[in-house]
């Protein structure tokens, strides 16, 4: 059992994620922005999408293993706000199964 996520099936180690390197989310995740509860009268949390010819809300870096955290599920990414033209800075992200994502190096090799 993973001491960080509590799942019996998870055997993920920090060494594995550091060796594997940066990962990329799937295309659908990287082109959508979550709607916050307050943005909607019914409280629905959905996503807005960008389409060809329409600028994205945010530019996102690859997900980088957080070397400062012992938890192998902890990643960081840099976010740039395209609407405002300003950086939103580094954001912490929890990834359940980072071994299931394509690595940045695999993507660049294609």
All residues at 6 or more sequence positions from 50 whose CB lies less than 8 Å from its CB, including other chains: 31, 32, 56, 57
What pLDDT score was predicted for residue 40?
Answer: 46
User: Is 2 inside any structural domain?
Assistant: no
In a domain, 66, yes or no: yes
1 located within any domain: no
Give pLDDT tens digits for 10-37: 889 999 999 999 998 866 555 555 555 5
pLDDT tens digit string along 45-100? 455 556 666 666 777 888 999 999 999 999 999 888 877 778 888 999 999 889 88
Strands (E), 1-110: 23-24, 32-34, 47-49, 58-60, 64-65, 74-81, 86-94, 102-103
Q: 8 in a domain, yes or no?
A: no
Residue-range definition of the domain harbouring residue 80: 14-109
Spatial contact of 23 and 63, defined as CB atoms under 8 Å apart: yes
Q: Is residue 9 part of a domain?
A: no
Number of structural domains (the chain) is 1
User: Rounded distance, CA 42 to CA 27, Å?
Assistant: 28
């Amino acid at each position: 059992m993973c001491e960080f996520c509590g799942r019996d099936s998870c055997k993920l180690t920090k060494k594995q994620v550091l060796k594997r390197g940066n990962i990329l989310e799937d295309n659908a995740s990287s082109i959508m922005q979550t709607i916050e509860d307050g943005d909607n009268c019914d409280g629905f949390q959905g996503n807005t999408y960008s389409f060809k010819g329409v600028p994205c809300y945010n530019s996102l870096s690859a997900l980088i293993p957080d070397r400062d955290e012992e938890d192998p599920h902890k990643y960081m990414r840099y976010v740039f706000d395209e609407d405002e033209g300003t950086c939103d800075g580094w954001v912490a992200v929890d990834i359940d199964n980072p071994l299931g994502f394509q690595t940045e190096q695999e993507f660049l090799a294609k």
